[in-house]
Structure 1
Amino acid sequence: MTSFDTGRARPAIFLPASKAPASDAVGKVPALHIDARGTRCPTPLLRLRKALRRCEPGQVLELAADDPAAFAEIPRALAELPAQLFATRDEGAYWVFLVLRYR
């Protein structure tokens, strides 16, 4: 697991990211799967923002990205969005971010 230190203190509502369980172990299927592989920032972030507008509070989004800049930008941007990064999963060639919309 990689640390996503933004240099700023996170609000108390944010939990540290943890390793995501295998997809068959997850009780809920993500509400949306966003495949941003092959795109460069800010496209993964823009797709995440758009998907968050379509989701209701409590729904989970799964974002797959392979742009190295996304590894730093996604967690940083979530501090300003109505969402929380609660897990990451390294798939080798790309990362999967599991995001919970909370309001």
Structure 2
Amino acid sequence: MVDKTVDYTGLKCPMPVLKTKKELKTMSSGQVIEVIVDDVGAKKDIPALLNKIGDELVELKEDNGNLIFIIKKA
């Protein structure tokens, strides 16, 4: 179950990563966020961020040119 959805379509690197990091800081452990982006660089940058900060990439989907990340706060 997703607790929050944020749409960062239209933003270019590094903004989707920075905004995702900021949003994750406001969340509690176990909460799930859906992040929607259309910047192709985010496909590697967001997983790299999650690896660095220890949060979990539950799923990555592609839909109509958008990348949809489902992330669980550690």
TM-score, normalised by the number of residues in structure 1: 0.68
Letter of the aligned partner of 1:84 in structure 2? E
C-alpha displacement of 1:76: 1.0
Letter of the aligned partner of 1:62 in structure 2? E
C-alpha displacement of 1:47: 1.0
1:35 and 1:70 map into 2 onto residues whose CA distance is: 13
Letter of the aligned partner of 1:74 in structure 2? I
Large movers: runs of 4+ above 4 Å = none
SS in 1 for 2:72: strand
C-alpha displacement of 1:41: 0.9
CA RMSD of aligned residues (A): 1.0
C-alpha displacement of 1:82: 3.5
Letter of the aligned partner of 1:42 in structure 2? P
Higher helix proportion (structure 1 or 2) = 2
SS in 1 for 2:69: strand
Give the percent of matched residue pairs that are identical in Structure 1 and Structure 2.
27
Of structures 1 and 2, the larger Rg is shown by 1
Correspondence list, 1:1-40, <5 A? 28=1, 30-40=2-12
How many residues are treated as equivalent by the alignment? 74
Whether the 8 Å CA contact 1:31–1:55 is kept in 2: the answer is no
Higher strand proportion (structure 1 or 2) = 2
The yes-or-no answer on 1:53 pairing with 2:25 is yes
The yes-or-no answer on 1:94 pairing with 2:66 is yes
C-alpha displacement of 1:32: 1.7
Query: In the alignment, what sits opposite 1:67?
Result: 39
SS in 1 for 2:53: coil
Whether the 8 Å CA contact 1:36–1:64 is kept in 2: the answer is yes
TM-score, normalised by the number of residues in structure 2: 0.92
